[in-house]
Amino acid sequence: MCRWMAWMGQAVPIEELLFKTQHGIVDQSLHARMGAEPTNGDGFGLGWYGTGEGPGVYRSVAPAWGDANLRELAAHIEAPLFIAHVRAAIGSPVQATNCHPFRRGRWLFVHNGYIADFDLLRRDLMLAVDPAQFAEVQGSTDTEVVFHLALTFGLESDPISALEQTIGLIEATARDRGVAAPVQGTFGVCDGESLWAVRYASEGPPRSLFASTDAATLKALHPENPRLQRMNEGDRVIVSEPFADLPGAWHEVPPGTAVYLRHGGDLKERPFVLRGG
């Protein structure tokens, strides 16, 4: 369930990507085309790095397509890095504490997918969370627990390695509990300077994940698009489902792969290899 997108590059009004693209994330909240749920109307969240200390987070239980405040914020906040997420709840309550992105300090975390039979695994996984963080878990989603496991395994020093250990642990726990194919999805992480994303499924094809190609290619592909012509080298979008108005502009992240992006740098890929378990 869910869809997400992240922007990294020059500071832009958030509405440019949330509302002014064709088939952007807010449009996807009402009718997504890829993946399992066409409607992602069970709340949303936006995390951005701008004025003030650390990221700001706005989360609401309203559908993104109808939230008047989201339009206001998107029109009046600029940021060089932000993540937006629209939610399709599968079982857990529709409440702000279940909306992504989750935050700790400078870190934000989003997920599109699920941990299968999470109810059967929740206690074991919660026990594996650093006891000092246990009481920080405020909602009831699988994703928030994944985030705190990754923090426990060192997300703040090496996000991909921490996620490899986290998913490794979930796979092992699922085996112990007789849960098959427990992990499905894509994950996004950022700290204000860099952005990491992972595409993984225990079995079968994982949820889709795309990165925009570099700005030069985008400009050459779409010389008629004035917004693209304003893009700088290094501006990038990571999306669970491409915008409709930019054919040819997307690089599909392969299954079982992690990507890494730094302000102004190239997109780097590496295999996502489970650890531990």
Give the footprint of a copy of itself on this chain (CB under 8 A): 13, 30-31, 38-39, 41-42, 48, 50-53, 56-63, 66, 68-69, 72-73, 75-78, 89, 92-97, 118-120, 122-123, 126-127, 131, 134-135, 137-140
Nearer to a copy of itself, 55 or 206 (CB): 55
Q: Are 146 and 254 in contact (CB under 8 A)?
A: no
Nearer to a copy of itself, 33 or 268 (CB): 33
Q: From 65, 70, 74, 1, select the one nearest 36 (Cα to Cα).
A: 1
The phi and psi torsions of 102 (rounded to 5 degrees) equal: -90, 150
| End-to-end C-alpha distance for the chain, whole angstroms | 26
Tokens of 226: 């004035």
| Cα gap 184→118, rounded to integer Å | 12
Collapsing DSSP to helix, strand or coil, 96 comes out as: helix
The nearest distance, CB 53 to a copy of itself, in angstroms, is: 7
Centroid of chain to Cα 42 = 16
The nearest distance, CB 242 to a copy of itself, in angstroms, is: 21
Nearer to a copy of itself, 140 or 161 (CB): 140
Residue 171: other Cβ atoms inside 10 A: 17
The nearest distance, CB 164 to a copy of itself, in angstroms, is: 25
Nearer to a copy of itself, 92 or 225 (CB): 92
The nearest distance, CB 248 to a copy of itself, in angstroms, is: 29
The nearest distance, CB 270 to a copy of itself, in angstroms, is: 33
Nearer to a copy of itself, 130 or 233 (CB): 130
The nearest distance, CB 182 to a copy of itself, in angstroms, is: 15
> Between the CA of residue 2 and those of 18, 35, 66, 153, what are the distances in Å?
15, 9, 17, 25
> Between the CA of residue 74 and those of 10, 184, 218, 255, what are the distances in Å?
16, 30, 24, 32
